[in-house]
Amino acid sequence: MRGGWRLHRLGDRSLGTFSQEWAELNCRSFGDHPLLTASFIEGLLRHFGSGREHLAIYRDTNGVALAMCLLLAQSRLIWTSFQPSQAQLGPTMITDHGLLDSLPRALPWPALQLDLMCNDPAVGPLVRDAAPHSLRLNHALTMDIRLDGGFEPYWLARSKKLRSNIQRYGQRASADGLPPQLRCYTAANEMPAAVSRYAELEGRGWKAKLGTALGSVPEQLAFFQELLAREAAAGRAMVFELWLGEQLAASRLLIERAGTFVALKTGYDESLSKYAPGRLLLKGVIESLFASHPRHRIEFYTDATQDQLAWATGQRWIQHLSLYRSGLAAGLLNCARVLIKGPLRAHDSKLQVQTVAHLEDLPADAQQWLEHAEARNFELGLTWFRNLTSTVYANDPGVRFVLLREGEQLRALFPLLLQRRGTGPQVSSLANFYTALYEPLMDPLLKPDDLLPVLLLLKQEVPKLSRFWLAPMAPESHAYQTLLQAFRLARWWPFEFFAFGNWFTRTPAGGWPDYQATRQGDLRGILKRKGIRFAREGGRLEIVRTSEALAPVLDKFLSVYAARWKRNEPFPDFLPGLMQSCAQRGSLRLGLAWLGDRVVAAQIWIVSDGRAEIYKLAYDERFGDFSPGSLLTAKLMQEAMEQDGVAEVDYLIGDDAYKESWMDARRQRWGILAFDPFTLVGACLLAIEGTVRGAKRLLPGRMPTTLAEKDPV
């Protein structure tokens, strides 16, 4: 049997004979997820389907279904997931990310685009990596609560403000003669009435005014009554209610499978809002489930606010994924959208933008953000930017720190560099060739349209601005994805590009002995033999940590560094400044290999907040037979794992062959090159970039580098 995708029209609004296969795929590869069960999907089709839905199935050569998803033609050019509002998760089950590329080509011509909606990165591999000819969009920041360790430790880990507020609301209700009572319904025959009470409650609130209340649409009420009754009959549904005296104040509908509760709906009586009944109910639900279902988890599948996240033990972005029949199709569709809409000239927003030219002029909250970011990665922090701006960009008028605020609250901070290049102005990341990670600092709740005021202001501040160059970034990060989407909303044309590979290793549970035991035999043999010979010749290894110890050996490091690389540093004060600033804060690990009074190898390591980063390696080639660099790496690695207790060691930039011997994993750093197609220069550069990229796909290895691959720094 030939494998591949096939489409089946579901004219009877049912999975029909495919229902069993759907259920088996969910159980086999998706953990029997409550929102992907065949019965849940059947209910959606029955109550909200139109008969135009299609089931796409990918089978292997043995006829086994590896992927299934429900699709609907939005137009002749664009298809999308079957996604009624009652489905918090898209009806998409794809076990292998590699199957995505061929899916758009399985759609009837002339379909060019497929939008797979509401994908959870924790459920299957769909949005974990970029697919060819694809576009990801952060849709909603969902949250979950792990029911591990008991309710008391969980509750004590919440903020003091949250705990005191909940206590105050409960006391207020009791003082007013409305003692809170938690009721839980689990029997199948109780579900229709419980869902009806919920619908009545929601029908008195703001959702009723919008026409979205559960009881506003008969099909919606019937769907939830059937769903809850069916799941309750199998012991997999609960309705929790909070009563204040004799009045229903709040209600939550939940279903459960395979250790996962899903909160389907929640509502409260708005006339009782001074008692915060929704919050009182949530505390009661969590406490009850900790007692009855330990080691389960609650998934909320909502677009969480900051207040809601205060309850969470985890959060992640639900994403939409757009796939295109080809790169050409993606380009044509995006070009049409941009040209039809025209340039973005204004955007209504409650956010304000502020620019600061000097690091020392940053307000206190912005400096605090940089200090906190340093705990995630040294290069995101105040120490790094202080050295960078003082040694590389000391007299550069293009340095900008762009702050995004909502009232007094800081929402984002962008370290940027405004540059004049041969083709005109450009905004770049504030970085240099030692930068291994660049990331604007953003509130985790920030969405792409929140960044539009920043892009509009920079466009106004920099006349004839035609492009952005932002790298190197972690492509999976919230900042990267949000920026990418913001450029599209601003009607710029962003290209993604690979910057470099980043090798790293995590400290094993057994620490240095376990790490050492897993190195290749050749490396272990070299370290043993060369270590004996090096010591016999009077060699010794030293690790410099303090400013006092650094001063007398700094020239020794610089001399071996200059001898190894045989070229002058363009910014000779950068590395000494980096070492001195790190020594002052206790982060420097300068490794030196000595033979007599001569330094024959040197390495700069920076240890900060559980991470060791390897910045610079150098050795005197005349003493290469001793392998002093390898001996020094082993010494510093042992020190980092045993003395500093780091969780991760990072080789930073590049895919040099030797790094694989020391590291166990590799990740990628990417960048964004965005053009303004409504400027002459931007349009020309866009045409060049698009043409070269298209040619490189047709003639790999025979075309020049793209503009994105050229380092602007």
What domains are there in the chain, each with its CATH number?
4-143+318-329 (3.40.630), 174-295 (3.40.630.30), 342-465+677-709 (3.40.630), 508-646 (3.40.630.30)
Whether the CB-CB separation of 31 and 70 falls below 8 Å is answered with: no
Cross-strand bridge partners of residue 73: 79
Using H for helix, E for strand and C for coil, what is the string for 624-661?
HHHCHHHHHHHHHHHHHHHCCCCCEEECCCCCCCCHHH
Task: Identify the pLDDT of residue 247.
Answer: 96
Tokens of 342: 């025209």
Q: Regarding predicted confidence, which is higher, 582 or 699?
A: 582
Quote the percentage of the chain above a pLDDT of 70: 96
Task: Identify the pLDDT of residue 393.
Answer: 97
491-523 burial: b if 16+ Cβ within 10 Å, else e = bbbbbbbebeebbbbebeeeebeebbeebeeeb
Q: What is the pLDDT of residues 118-136, one digit of tens each?
A: 999 999 888 766 565 678 8
Distance CA 192, CA 357 (A): 63
Between the CA of residue 39 and those of 26, 36, 569, what are the distances in Å?
11, 8, 66
Cross-strand bridge partners of residue 242: 182, 250
DSSP category for residue 552: G
Q: What is the mean pLDDT of residues 358-379?
A: 97
Whether the CB-CB separation of 286 and 242 falls below 8 Å is answered with: no
CB atoms closer than 10 angstroms to residue 198: 28
Choose among 136, 160, 143, 477: nearest CA to 305: 143
Q: What is the pLDDT of residues 341-356, one digit of tens each?
A: 888 888 888 999 999 9
Distance CA 530, CA 523 (A): 10
Which of 172-176, 255-259, 519-523 has the weakest average pLDDT? 519-523
Quote the percentage of the chain above a pLDDT of 90: 84
- C-alpha triplet 63, 68, 71: angle, nearest 5°: 135
Task: Identify the pLDDT of residue 338.
Answer: 84
Banded pLDDT at 483 (limits 50, 70, 90): very high
The bridge status of strand 352-356 relative to strand 314-324 is unpaired
Cα of first residue to Cα of last residue in the chain, in angstroms, is 54
Q: What are phi and psi of 292, to 5 degrees?
A: -95, -25
Banded pLDDT at 713 (limits 50, 70, 90): very low
- 591 Cα distance to chain centroid: 34
Between the CA of residue 35 and those of 257, 408, 463, 485, 538, what are the distances in Å?
9, 40, 50, 28, 68
Q: What is the pLDDT of residues 276-332, one digit of tens each?
A: 999 999 999 999 999 999 999 999 999 999 999 999 999 999 999 999 998 888 888
Q: What is the pLDDT of residues 532-546, one digit of tens each?
A: 999 999 999 999 999
Task: Flag whether pLDDT at 372 surpasses 60.
Answer: yes
Which of 28-32, 102-106, 210-214, 674-678 has the weakest average pLDDT? 210-214
Q: What is the pLDDT of residues 695-708, one digit of tens each?
A: 877 776 555 556 66
Tokens of 661: 């011997």
Q: What share of the chain is helix, strand, coil (3-state, %, to 5)?
A: 40, 30, 30
Instruction: Give the burial class of 475: count Cβ atoms within 10 A of its Cβ; 0-12 exposed, 13-18 middle, 19 or more buried.
Output: buried
pTM above threshold 0.85: yes
Which of 194-208, 363-377, 485-499, 685-699 has the weakest average pLDDT? 685-699
Q: Write down the residue that tokens 């490189």 correspond to.
A: 696
Task: Identify the pLDDT of residue 442.
Answer: 98
Q: Residue 390 is which amino acid?
A: S
HSE at residue 324, side-chain half, CA atoms within 13 A, is 15
Q: What is the mean pLDDT of residues 393-397?
A: 94
CA dihedral of 418, 419, 425, 426, whole degrees rounded to 10: -70
Task: Identify the pLDDT of residue 700.
Answer: 66
CB atoms closer than 10 angstroms to residue 267: 26
Task: Identify the pLDDT of residue 712.
Answer: 45
Task: Identify the pLDDT of residue 708.
Answer: 64
